[in-house]
Amino acid sequence: MLSIDITLTDKPKEKPADETKLGFGHIFTDHMFIMNYDTGLGWHDARIVPFGDLSLSPAAMCLHYGQEIFEGLKAYRTKDGSVQLFRPDENFKRMNVSNERMVIPPVNEEDCLQALKELVKLEEDWVPHTEGASLYIRPFIISTDPYVGVRPADHYLFIIILSPSGAYYSTGLNPVKIYVEKKYVRAVRGGTGFAKTAANYAISLKGQQEAHEQDYEQVLWLDGVEQKYVEEVGSMNIFFVIDGEVVTPQLTGSVLPGITRKSAIEICKKRGYKVSERRISIEEVAKAYDEGHLDEVFGTGTAAVISPVGHLKWGDKIMTINDNKIGPISQMLYDTLTGIQWGTIEDEFGWIVKI
Which residues lie near ligand PLP (CB under 6 A)? Answer: 72, 196, 200, 232, 235-237, 256, 258-261, 300-302
Shortest distance, position 197 Cβ to ligand PLP, whole Å: 9
> Are 22 and 16 contacting, i.e. CB atoms less than 8 angstroms apart?
yes
**Alpha carbon distances (Å) from 286 to 27, 53, 218, 306, 317:** 41, 49, 18, 22, 9
Q: How far apart are CA 304 and CA 173, in angstroms?
A: 9
CA Rg value for the chain: 21
Report the phi/psi class of residue 45: left, alpha or beta, with left for phi > 0 and alpha for psi in -120 to 50: left
Dihedral angle over CA of 174, 175, 181, 184, nearest 10: 30
Min CB(90)–ligand PLP separation in Å: 7
Nearer to ligand PLP, 233 or 355 (CB): 233
Shortest Å, Cβ 299 to ligand PLP: 8
> Do the strands 275-278 and 245-249 form a parallel or antiparallel pair, or are they unpaired?
parallel
Dist CA 159 CA 140 (whole Å): 5
Q: Residue 135 or 236: which CB sits closer to ligand PLP?
A: 236
Give whichever of 48 and 282 is closer to ligand PLP, judged by the CB atom. Answer: 282
CB of 101 to ligand PLP, least distance (A): 13
Please report how close the Cβ of residue 351 comes to ligand PLP at its closest, in angstroms. 12
Q: Which CB sits closer to ligand PLP, 48 or 233? A: 233
Q: Of 60 and 211, which has the nearer Cβ to ligand PLP?
A: 211
